[in-house]
Structure 1
């Protein structure tokens, strides 16, 4: 019995040896990368940046873990990725805004608001108005005026605020940032005696974000089935889509849902376009906020109820780019490699201080044409040491098993 236990133990060790040999097989750079692009380098050293293009997104891993920057000798250079969503830095300053005066004239209601500075003698900067609305349904055209002293008023904008069932518009963006301390809201023909509250806001989005956004038309397929319209977008390049713009001119109000290529619901909401005299409400944009969608197939399901399908004349998307940044040290030409599903994201220390690098001057480069790896000729396959090692270990393990089994049977 003891001999049989020893045999089983030896057999177990022999079987462990064989798969362990596979651990010697590694990922070879750049042989295991299917694609690369030449980086069109400019003169001068320092930090270099480049935006990834559609071909990179199409062939690289979704998480971009297989990106590599290398010189002509194959030496790898550290880099980091700065995403388009991270570049969207929105800062909003809220001012305490109180109702200073209220009166009626020629059927219109005038509401005068005073904004308080954040600290004494500080300027008040405003470019956005946020209104508190009545709880009941209404729609009103309003006029907005600004003043430095509450006496002389400058006309700023004419727009609409409303609450219609579940549709709400309570924010207005002013044409530009102003330093007014007073704002007047004129509500013409206010027979309903609508009252509005006001919050002055300074909304600032860094212009850097605009560099990361592009727009284009994707191939799409529209089909109607039962009471639904299905719009399928071909996003085979796996672009990071932020907004989908539907061009629809007719009056409508519909619910929609968005699904990825696995049938997972990504988003739901409402679309509407109601254009009448003194009544204009429009929202035909599907936005994904701070979570861009990169599914290869995106399906929009519109519920038509018993209405005829919508006439959609065009579909356009906004998508975000990613930026790769590395330090050029005068070693010549560079390449961007991608297209290796087995690659692991490198761990570069430049990631630790990229926030500082983002404040440094960066010279933007462009990518060349897509180059695919040349497959080796089948008649002259290279000798693989890892495969030979596996064969030897396997043969030795098999001989050991046969020897021990025979020895045990003889002694028994």
Structure 2
């Protein structure tokens, strides 16, 4: 009896010793060593990120033998990547990350406008047609004039004129550029004409047919939009899914953006004559700012149509859906035929002289945006020959990888190691107790 009490006492002491001391022992055996601010467990995890953290991948197919390649992201990437694109990575054949820099259509949209003053050099009428010639005054000597838009001073009365714009270098020889409309209809007016590209003409000519009223048009300024061409390169279009609801004297137009694209413009295809105010909200109910006021209008003239049904956002947004609330007052809802949407895409540039083939991986909610030295050399790389690559089909990585990287990651740390040691020790103690009891 006394021997059994001694055995039980020894067993209890061993059990207490293991429970109280093994945690500390484990800490001694495997401390959370830090390497450049990252623990050993985190370092191991980051090395395995390319295979067990990212959920989707796309092959990158380079073109030519250029040392640098670029490619635009597509809708599938925006749908499954983080909203801020912090989880984008490029991998080589060894599953090592390849540095890259990103060019954003959103950044390109923030253009800087340069304006030039002008002076009227000639005006004459012929067969009810009025011609105005203007000279552009340079801002600096020995520097080319560049312009992409003309802004005119409009008469005060209501009118609509279909006009023709010409450009020239000496005021004698003219090159036809674009046709456009200038009008004033109540509170609506259009005083500018986009040339469609940047030109270096010193002279511009405005021809106004059927100007029996002899309306005067003074060229107020020539504008150089520095980012016009770049924005076009980063702009894509699609027809989104939408639905309309009536709420008393208001129409709610709900537009889906399931792929979380960077929407910059919404265009409504309508019929009939109307003039309405609207408010635009995102999926959280926050009002979004728009360019050019909050009016939607469509007015039919005898031989032309004046329409302002483009909703241009001040800042692109990735909201999952938008709600346009249109104030109808006592009028019937507008007749909507369709909705178009413009969105901005991003471009990635990377060195392709490494171990190919390359692939893009994405879909990691915990990833932080990488910081690469290549960003500092961006201006030099843009002067090099850059090939245009393209993305292949999307492939989903096995879900078991995602489970193993989250549900069992604790085993790679000190806590997991200590837990295993304690369990093994308890089993050894139980075996020891059983042997002592037999004796």
TM-score, normalising length from structure 2?
Answer: 0.72
Q: Kindly tell me: are residues 150 and 236 of structure 1, through their superposed partners in 2, closer, same or farther at Cα, counting changes over 3 Å?
A: closer
Counterparts of 1:183 and 1:86 in 2: how far apart (Å)?
Answer: 34
1:256 to 278, 288, 309: 278
User: Match of 1:210?
Assistant: 232
- Give 2:149's aligned residue: 128
1:334-391 CA-to-partner distances (Å, cap 9, x unmatched) read 2211111111111111112223222322222222222222233999x86813251464
Shift of 1:125: 5.8
Q: Which runs of 5+ in 1 are unaligned?
A: 1-13, 396-412
Please give the alpha-carbon distance, in whole angstroms, between the structure 1 residues aligned to 2:400 and 2:99.
29
Shift of the alpha carbon at 1:238? Answer: 0.7
Change beyond 3 A, Cα 1:334–1:242? same
For residues 7-34 of structure 1, give each alpha carbon's deviation from its aligned partner in whole angstroms, at most 9, with x where no partner exists.
xxxxxxx9xx9xx979765355121222
Residue matched to 1:200:
222
- The answer on 1:190 being equivalent to 2:213 is yes
Whether 1:273 and 2:298 are equivalent positions in the alignment is yes
| Distance in 1 between residues matched to 2:107 and 2:340, nearest whole Å | 23
* Mean CA deviation greater in 34-43 or 194-203: 194-203
After superposition, where does 1:13-92 map in structure 2 within 5 Å? 26=42, 27=45, 28-30=48-50, 31-42=52-63, 44=65, 46-88=67-109
Displacement after TM superposition at 1:41 (Å): 4.0
How much is the aligned-residue C-alpha RMSD, in angstroms?
3.8
- Greater helix share, structure number: 2
Give 1:265 shift. 0.7
Residues 58-92 of structure 1, C-alpha deviations (whole Å, 9 max, x = no match): 11110001111112322111111111233458565
Decide which moves more: 163-172 or 385-394: 385-394
Q: CA deviation at 1:149?
A: 6.6
Q: Is the 8 A contact 1:21 1:393 kept in 2?
A: no
Distance 1:126 1:41 in 2: 35
Equivalent residue for 2:323?
299
Deviation at 1:312, TM superposition (A): 1.0
Cα 1:144–1:316 shift into 2, 3 Å: closer
Structure 2 gap ranges (5+):
1-23, 34-38, 424-439
Equivalent-residue separation in structure 1 for 2:92 and 2:177 (angstroms):
55
The answer to whether residue 412 in structure 2 is matched with residue 385 in structure 1 is yes
How many residue pairs are counted as aligned between the two chains? Answer: 374
Q: TM-score, normalised by structure 1?
A: 0.76
3-state secondary structure, aligned to 1:388: helix
Aligned pairs for 1:150-161 (under 5 A) are 159-161=180-182
Contact 2:70–2:386 (8 Å) recurs in 1: yes
- The residue aligned with 1:341 is 365
Change in Cα spacing, 1:392 to 1:343, as seen in structure 2 (3 Å) is same
